[in-house]
Amino acid sequence: MWWYLTIFVLMSLGLACSSAPVETPVPEKHSVESKEPAPKLEKVTFEQFEKAVAGYKGQVVIVDVWGEFCIPCKKKFPSIMQMNKDLAKLGVVFMTVSRDEAENEKAVLEFLTKQKALIPNFILVDSEENIQEGSKRIDVTVPPQMHVFNRLGKLVKTFDNKNKEAEVEKFIRDLAEKK
């Protein structure tokens, strides 16, 4: 009977009935790549930017003019992303246009990624002359600004840093609910 006990002990230690070494399983390495979609940043001229805005005719379009260098812009960004979630079902489209230099594209994209800005995002790569001329139609000269376009594609309101978020959201919601 003692030999049953000896075999049992040896088997539980992995020493009996096995000539191959016991391998310890190695945990799988987890990929650092996210499965979530990543924001995109499109380099555009002012004319291409205007066409992108016009392409959403029939919806209320909100253009957030911002810069990675602009602290008030970055502070407001999370509330803009929240408004995007809250108002999308009403046919509101949010988009951003960065006033950063094209050389700062990496920092802009990193910020957009942290904010999960899965909306149309643009960075202007045009001459200052073209931007100044285009800003007579859609002012992008001084961030932060938020332009609101009605369903007909007409610019109906521009908000700046002085406006309260609740005031901005109410205006957009009221406009979107008018069909």
Q: So what's the pLDDT on residue 36?
A: 76
Tell me the mean pLDDT in the region 32-47: 84
Domain hosting residue 95, numbered range? 37-177
Tell me the mean pLDDT in the region 116-121: 97
pLDDT 10s digits, 135-148: 999 999 999 999 99
pTM of the prediction? 0.78
Based on the structure, what is the number of domains in the chain?
A: 1
User: Does residue 124 lie within any of the structural domains?
Assistant: yes
User: Does residue 139 lie within any of the structural domains?
Assistant: yes
User: Does residue 13 lie within any of the structural domains?
Assistant: no
Distance CA 11, CA 2 (A): 14
Rounded to 5 degrees, what are φ and ψ at 123? -130, 130
Which CATH number goes with the domain that contains 131?
3.40.30.10
Phi/psi region, residue 31 (left: phi>0; alpha: psi -120 to 50; beta: rest), is: beta
Segment among 4-18, 49-63, 116-130 with least mean pLDDT: 4-18
Residue 34: pLDDT band by 50, 70, 90 thresholds?
low
